[in-house]
Amino acid sequence: MQNRQEKISQVVVTAVQMRDIEDRIFAAGMPVVALMEKVAGLIARRIQEIPPTLLQKAYSVPSNTPFLRGSPQAGGSRVGILVGPGHNGGDALVVARELHFRGYEVWIYSPFSKLKELTSQHLQYAQSLGIPIYQTIEQLPDSDLLIDGLFGFGLERNLTDPIASAINQLNQLPVPIYSIDLPSGLHTDTGEVLGTAIRATHTFCLGLWKLAFFQDQALEYVGKAELIDFDIPLADVKAVLKDAPRIKRITPATALANLPLPRPPVTHKYKEGHLLLICGSRRYAGGAILTGLGARASGVGMLSIAVPESLKSLLVSHLPEALIVGCPETETGAIAHLQLPEKTDLSSFDAIACGPGLTRDATPIVQEVINSDRPLILDADGLNILAQMGAIATLKKRLAVTVLTPHTGEFQRLFPDVPDAKHDRVQAVREAAAQSEAIILLKGARTAIANPQGAVWIVPESTPALARGGSGDVLTGLLGGLLAQAATKEIPIEDIVATAAWWHSQAGIIAAQERTELGVDAFTLTQYLIKVLSN
């Protein structure tokens, strides 16, 4: 059974949900001041743990730089605290007080004339301690570290001058910025920049993960994200979220619970899944190879790969264990029609993955697999052909599960009437899944997966190293192999899709750590898939 910390780490909430959860806590008797003290105390301790070498590495400064000779337990001894008018500013002021008592040289930037009562009281006490307080950006002294407590979750209006100009100037300073809960200026749900926003080096997300942390457009602002768990009762979380479609952050524990897929002591290859890959063309032979290598890593029991006849010997040389099915091809080198082995048809397979390297000349092939009764993954040209056919109307006719794996451009071609995924990828993928009745895996820096019932899974980390041609082909093969194996196991398909996306992302992260981001081509990526399970 999952422990509390693991369950909390999976939860993702909207601003409204977080506010409702906090209201329940306060209604139950938790004093606001007590919660503020607890949260700020946790943050102050984390600030003290920042190793000097971390800031030295991040900012490429010499080890004898003055700010690295400050507090022995912190990144620097001079800390600037940016204070807003609400309780986020109150949190920041308690942090200022605690760091002051621990010997840090602290100053406060408080540009607002009207503060919430509790925040005002903390500011008054900070002033009584002799902590300098500044109201204009021009007055601010040097610092080694800034702590951003200007605005917390729930901000919806665009920031205007003078605070917008102040934030822009703060972003220009060559010092790290640690934001409390969310970088000031970001929309809590969409991650949209509301006029301007703090570019944080590190963000302490308070209590529960907010949606903004998983929107691609917010990532350059949040920096390294860390959850500060202040012991929200699970009962309050469940009470608020019980009627809402869940948004779940995929953690290593949840993904690895499905990996490797369980096998009985007595089994054989066809009981461990039979996957059919339909991919490749004379023009794009590499797509077939990479998709096949991804499937191989999944551990699927039997792998059949349908390719144009001219590619058969090439595929055999790379995947000798697979059954390579050479098919008649068009003049352009695409598959003309499937020519499966005797006594075999599409219903012989546990899953089908179709698309990488096909070219649009293979339209009849995509139409044929869509008409089948097998679980189907469509990617690349499979998606482009589906878009031409009319994705929503076509998919609604399918009797079996369909998984689509588009990037943002493909997503917009498939679902032109769905809100822009660049603005709110979580809402976009949720709407597309509901309308098409398919499972949608929207690739990106934070891959989002949605089922037709509105549930969403988010892969919380990735690497730019995966922004290479062929990386998506590897994911298609890996996902296809897992889906074929899951056909005989009682594991929800959505969990399998989420697990595949997490596995693929982790392989990229490990490869980038060992080979640098530039060293992770798609072929290399396939060699790191198994390393994820051995780490």
**111 to each of 54, 133, 265, how far by Cα in Å?**
30, 9, 68
Would the annotation count 19 as a binding residue?
A: no
Would the annotation count 122 as a binding residue?
A: no
**32 to each of 36, 43, 275, how far by Cα in Å?**
6, 17, 56
Structure tokens at 203: 């963000």
Nearest CA to 520 out of 478, 479, 474 is that of 474
Would the annotation count 88 as a binding residue?
A: yes
Would the annotation count 333 as a binding residue?
A: no
Report the interhelical angle of 522-534 vs 493-515 (nearest 10°).
Answer: 110
Would the annotation count 268 as a binding residue?
A: no
Residues in CB range of 417: below 8 A, 6 or more apart: none
Would the annotation count 100 as a binding residue?
A: no
Would the annotation count 535 as a binding residue?
A: no
Would the annotation count 64 as a binding residue?
A: no
Would the annotation count 91 as a binding residue?
A: yes
Would the annotation count 246 as a binding residue?
A: no
Would the annotation count 157 as a binding residue?
A: yes
Nearest CA to 533 out of 161, 294, 226, 255 is that of 255
CB atoms under 10 Å from CB of 61, counted, come to 14
User: H helices within 390-470, ranges in order?
Assistant: 391-395, 408-414, 425-436
Would the annotation count 424 as a binding residue?
A: no
Residues in CB range of 121: below 8 A, 6 or more apart: none
The Cα–Cα gap between 442 and 479 comes to 14
**CA end-to-end span of the chain, whole Å?**
23
Pairing of strands 274-278, 351-354: parallel
Would the annotation count 263 as a binding residue?
A: no
Structure tokens at 515: 């080979």
Would the annotation count 223 as a binding residue?
A: no
User: H helices within 185-263, ranges in order?
Assistant: 219-222, 234-241, 252-256
Would the annotation count 184 as a binding residue?
A: yes
Residue type, 211: L
Q: Is 441 helix (H, G, I), strand (E, B) or coil?
A: strand
Would the annotation count 443 as a binding residue?
A: yes
Question: Looking at residue 238, what DSSP letter applies?
Answer: H
Which strands sit side by side in the sheet containing 402-404, from one edge to the other?
247-249, 456-458, 448-450, 439-442, 402-404, 376-378, 351-354, 274-278, 302-308, 323-327
The Cα–Cα gap between 478 and 529 comes to 9
Would the annotation count 329 as a binding residue?
A: no
Would the annotation count 381 as a binding residue?
A: no
Nearest CA to 262 out of 88, 33, 482, 49 is that of 482
Would the annotation count 430 as a binding residue?
A: no
- Asked if 311 and 285 touch (Cβ cutoff 8 Å), the reply is yes
- Tell whether omega for the bond before 460 is within 30 degrees of 0, i.e. cis: no
Would the annotation count 154 as a binding residue?
A: yes
Structure tokens at 132: 């300098």
Residues in CB range of 31: below 8 A, 6 or more apart: none
**375 to each of 37, 131, 141, 275, 482, how far by Cα in Å?**
52, 64, 62, 10, 12
From the annotation, which residues make up the binding site for AMP? 443-447, 472
From the annotation, which residues make up the binding site for (6S)-NADPHX? 87-91, 152-158, 181, 357, 407, 473
From the annotation, which residues make up the binding site? 87-91, 148, 152-158, 181, 184, 357, 407, 443-447, 472-473
From the annotation, which residues make up the binding site for K(+)? 88, 148, 184
